[in-house]
Amino acid sequence: MTPCVLALGGHDFTSQPPDRALGELLLRLATERAAGRPRISLLTVDDPEMAARVGRFHSAFEARPCDSSAISLPELAGRRQELRDRLLAQDLIYVSGADLHGLLGTWDATRLGEILTLAWRRGIVLAGESAGAMCWFDAGITSSSGHAEPGAGLGLLGGSLCVHYSSEPDRREAYLQAVADGMPDGYGIDDHAGLIWDGGPSPFAVTARRGARAYRVAARETGVAESPLPARFLPAPAPSVMREDIAEFRRIRSIRRRAGWPS
């Protein structure tokens, strides 16, 4: 099975139409690779906001035809075989946005990069947004230190990537300068836009929000050129009434328990 990577400029697991559309894309990519019911996992890092992200992730997929799970790297860092077995049992692994330097540093310490490289070679879809998208490339633009600067990635995909391309002008400016200074050519991706590598030499672009785009960025004799890529628009699926009913039921039950009422 051919390796597949989905890089997203920015995304969350909310009920907003662009996020629902990208969630549907994740499910489709996992289903295409699955032998049975698709398995989708969120690979989490030590982040104070991660618990809320995990909750939104489960809400996004609990009413869909798949098995979703969150795999905590901090919890399994010392159990490498278990971490390996769980990751290689997935059809799609999603890496959430984080600190690119910290992310790759943690992967080096736990040898997670070796496991993810094996997953990629086996055809398990690797996906992610922000740092979780840049990590697959040779290089990206990180704001880990408080300002935008180049950072190294895992190198599964050649070239470079800059995320949040239009929403963070400082990051885009730093990327253009880095490419002019010798960083490998690559791509810029807006929030709610993405690029898919699926066996071909070049990616194809998708967008879940009107106006969100992906760009080819390359050094030329006359300067650095930005070329918008043609993109397929992803319409948002209708909200799941079942999922919304479940969420409302849980909210009411939580209120009743806090009030000491019978649930």
∠ CA 190-195-196, nearest 5°, is 160
Q: Which residue among 96, 130, 143, 160 is the active-site one? A: 130
- In angstroms, the CA 263 to CA 257 distance is 7
Q: Which residue among 11, 41, 96, 164 is the active-site one? A: 164
72 catalytic? Reply is no
Residue recorded with tokens 């070796």: 114
3-state secondary structure the chain: CCCCEEEECCCCCCCCHHHHHHHHHHHHHHHHHCCCCCEEEEEECCCCCHHHHHHHHHHHHCCCCCEEEEEEHHHHCCCHHHHHHHHHCCCEEEECCCCHHHHHHHHHHHCHHHHHHHHHHCCCEEEEECHHHHCCEEEEEECCCCCCEEEECCCCEEEEEECCCCCCHHHHHHHHHHHHCCCCCEEEECCCEEEEECCCCCCEEEECCCCCCEEEEEEECCEEEEEECCEEECCCCCCCHHHHHHHHHHHHHHHHHHCCCCC
164 catalytic? Reply is yes
- In angstroms, the CA 78 to CA 88 distance is 17
Q: 194 pairs with which residues across the strands?
A: 8, 206
Write out the catalytic residue numbers: 130, 164
